[in-house]
Chain A
Amino acid sequence: MVGFVIVSHSRMLAESVADFTRLMAERVTVIPAGGLEDGSFGTSYQLISDAIEEANSGDGVLVLMDMGSAVMTTEMVLESMENHKVKMVDCPLVEGAVAGTIAAAGGQSLEMIYRNLTKSGYVNKF
């Protein structure tokens, strides 16, 4: 099953998004990587890279980020890994996490979830 990593500047935000996905996709692995090691705001190369390891059960990992350094730091972690089964997704963080984990729980492949999530930013809320 595809795993997920939630990267945010805020530890609480990342944990809450991960927690929120359990409501509808309890069986999916979602690892938060929020804030710095000491819990303050920021993005940590080490936490992101550990979270990706932890989330990978063999079917790949999708990484969702909030903004700025969360995106750039994730990019650098992925460049050092060269693992094609780890992808960062450009999508809304909360909606993407919910939609992605439900799809993963339904057994969808990494490529398919990735394609659908990249389009999810264009869906109107009302």
Chain B
Amino acid sequence: MNKEKIILVIDQMAVAMEKQKEFLTELDNVIGDGDHGINMARGFSETIKKRDSLAKMDAGDMIKNLGMILVSTVGGASGPLYGTAFMKAGMFLKGKEEVTFPDFLEAFACAIEGVMARGKAAEGEKTMLDAMLPAKRAMEQEWMLSGDGKKSMEAGLTAARKGIEYTKTIIATKGRAAYLGERSIGHQDPGATSFVFLLEAIASQM
């Protein structure tokens, strides 16, 4: 994927966040503080305002700066979490003008590590990690088998969507949803859901 495509991915992410703003906020109203959709839409609309300066950077700086924009504009937990994810991925991709699928896989692994460290969270706690980690494993496996980026991304999306379903079955132990205890069962995690929309935006340009 070249730089021009990456800018289109960012556009798609912004479009998706605007489109899903109410849905994500509704999900967050049930088990959180009800600002996830609004926050993500605000953060990504800011990236669109800075689109021209992002387009001039190499792929790594572009993604790192996207993360920095999210940290300073999102205003909720998703700001530092997605912000850290994009910043770590961008740092890994430093200096690259083009991102291959193996590059993407490694950058994604760095992003996940960043989220785990920032949120002090692991899999099975009803967070975005419950979509991210299955996606990572599925993509790596499919890439090993077929070496086909598109197919690998499809496998990742399927696993991530299953991850969302899985979050409905478990108790939240991180964030404000944790205060709900068992009452959080039956509801899907907003962060895992927004992650799938972001991954779809990446897939749309492959």
A residues in contact (CB < 8 Å) with B = 9, 36, 40-46, 67-69, 72-73, 75-76
Instruction: Using A73-B71, A76-B84 as known contacts, say yes or no to A45 and B118 having CB atoms under 8 A apart.
Output: no
B80 touches A76 (CB 8 A): yes
Q: Which of A43, A46, A75, A76 contacts B76 (CB 8 A)?
A: A43
B80: chain A residues at CB < 8 Å are 69, 72-73, 75-76
Q: Does B90 contact A (CB under 8 A)?
A: no
Measured between C-beta atoms, what is the minimum distance from A89 to chain B in Å? Answer: 17
Residue of A9, A44, A46, A69 most packed against chain B (CB within 10 A): A69
A43 touches B75 (CB 8 A): yes
B175 touches A68 (CB 8 A): yes
B contacts with A: majority SS: helix
Q: How far is the CA of A76 from the CA of B83 in the complex (A)?
A: 10
Instruction: Using A76-B83, A76-B84 as known contacts, say yes or no to A69 and B76 having CB atoms under 8 A apart.
Output: yes
Interface size on B, residues (CB 8 A): 18
B75 touches A44 (CB 8 A): yes
Interface string of B69-94 (1 = CB under 8 A from A): 00110011111110110000000000
Q: Does B65 contact A (CB under 8 A)?
A: no
Q: How far is the CA of A53 from the CA of B190 in the complex (A)?
A: 34
A75: chain B residues at CB < 8 Å are 80, 118
Q: Does B152 contact A (CB under 8 A)?
A: no
B35 touches A42 (CB 8 A): yes
B83: chain A residues at CB < 8 Å are 76
Cross-chain pairs A/B with CB under 8 angstroms, 14 sampled: A9-B33, A40-B75, A42-B39, A42-B75, A43-B76, A43-B79, A45-B71, A45-B79, A67-B176, A69-B76, A69-B77, A69-B78, A69-B80, A73-B79
Q: How far is the CA of A44 from the CA of B35 in the complex (A)?
A: 14
Measured between C-beta atoms, what is the minimum distance from B71 to chain A in Å? Answer: 5
Of residues 105 through 135 on chain B, the ones whose CB sits less than 8 Å from some CB of chain A are 118-119
Q: Which of B35, B71, B79, B81 contacts A41 (CB 8 A)?
A: B35
Residue of A9, A42, A67 most packed against chain B (CB within 10 A): A42
B35 touches A72 (CB 8 A): no
Q: Which of B33, B81, B176 contacts A72 (CB 8 A)?
A: B81
B33 touches A41 (CB 8 A): yes
Q: How far is the CA of A72 from the CA of B87 in the complex (A)?
A: 14
Measured between C-beta atoms, what is the minimum distance from B28 to chain A in Å? Answer: 12
Q: How far is the CA of A41 from the CA of B78 in the complex (A)?
A: 14
Measured between C-beta atoms, what is the minimum distance from B107 to chain A in Å? Answer: 19
A73: chain B residues at CB < 8 Å are 71, 79-80
B78: chain A residues at CB < 8 Å are 69
B75: chain A residues at CB < 8 Å are 36, 40, 42-44, 69
4 new A-B contacts at CB < 8 Å, known A44-B72, A69-B77, A76-B118: A42-B39, A43-B75, A45-B72, A69-B76
